[in-house]
Structure 1
Amino acid sequence: MIVRMSASYLWVKALHIVFIASWFAGLFYLPRLFVNLAMVASDSIAERERLLVMARKLHRFASGLMWIALASGLWLWLGVGIGQGPGNGWLHAKLALVLVVIGYHHVNAVHLRRFERGANTRSHRWFRVYNEIAVLAFAAIVVLVVVKPF
């Protein structure tokens, strides 16, 4: 498949990469804040509130980045035709992983609300493992996009 390399295509592709990387930075760091929140002593109200403020702001910022990343990806897919035609199974796998990552983003919001209500039941160790989901998804998506194994 031949992709027309217009200036707008290259700009949108560059912005897509920047916003994906930025969104994932938020997905990498927010669960680290959850690790810290899960470790805060019950009598450390100021520390808990400071971490909650950071988590709220990061989640809100990452949500905006997510929407721009998704919009630019949609433009590349539908507007330019990236991944259309035979031999593009990699794109279907990537889109499935993108749905998983969107779900992960929303599960982060659920965890944040639980921390805000003081209703978290997960340990800091659980959040350390949970934190790795975004790393594995990011690695898999990059491999699919670059290597295009199928």
Structure 2
Amino acid sequence: MGAFLADIYPWTKSLHIVSVIAWMAGLFYLPRLYVYHVEVVGSGNATDDLFQTMERRLLKAIMNPSMISTWLFGLLLVMTPGLVDWTMIWPWTKGLSVILMTWFHMWLAVRRKEFIAGTNTLTGRRYRMMNEFPTILMLIIVFSVVMKF
């Protein structure tokens, strides 16, 4: 298995990067939609229905598949011989950050259910603040992988 993973490494790495880009785009955009949903749209009207459709499609058609493929190709990279030195700090900081990114993804999914139920209590300001969370994690991940500290 190790030789096979080494042979397909360029493909695995490329697909991992593409998956991460798609996932990050959604993680940046969905909280932004929530800001506008709270501050401009309100609930119980045609625009509310439109926003719920956009939010659902972004989460279900782009974010969920890209999160799954990010994990899949990331785990294949972890299993590729010679790529990860577990005695260093960087794989642990990256791993923890990816877990936190996944938590944030799930947090956004729960917020979407609150919009559907008409029970959202968070403000646009709160969604703006939470929108910084994936940026911080992205910086930790990129610096961990590139600098390999």
**TM-score higher than 0.5 here?**
yes
State the partner residue of 1:76. Answer: 77
Assess, with a 3 A threshold, how the Cα gap between structure 1 residues 37 and 12 changes in structure 2: closer, same or farther. same
Report the AA paired with residue 143 of structure 2: V
Normalised by the length of structure 1, the TM-score is 0.89
CA contact (8 A) 1:40 1:48 kept: no
| In 2: Cα distance, 1:67 partner to 1:43 partner | 31
Q: How high is the TM-score relative to the length of structure 2? A: 0.90
Tell me how large the CA RMSD over aligned residues is.
2.1
Mark the CA change 1:41 to 1:54 in structure 2 (over 3 Å): closer, same or farther: closer
- For 1:13, the aligned partner's letter is K
| Large movers: runs of 4+ above 6 Å | none
d(CA) in 2 for partners of 1:39, 1:80: 50
- 2:11 is aligned to 11
Q: How many residues align?
A: 146
SS at match of 2:77: helix
Residues 42 and 20 (structure 1), Cα distance of their counterparts in 2 relative to 1, 3 Å cut: closer
Give the CA deviation at 1:9.
0.4
Q: Which residue does 1:106 correspond to in 2?
A: 106
| 1: CA distance, partners of 2:123 / 2:106 | 19
CA distance in 2, matches of 1:125, 1:112: 17
Identity across matched positions, percent: 32
Corresponding residue for residue 97 of structure 1: 97
What code does the residue aligned with 1:97 have? Answer: S
Unmatched 5+ residue regions in structure 1? none
Report the CA distance between 1:42 and its aligned residue: 4.0
Counterpart CA distance in 1 for 2:22 and 2:5 is 24
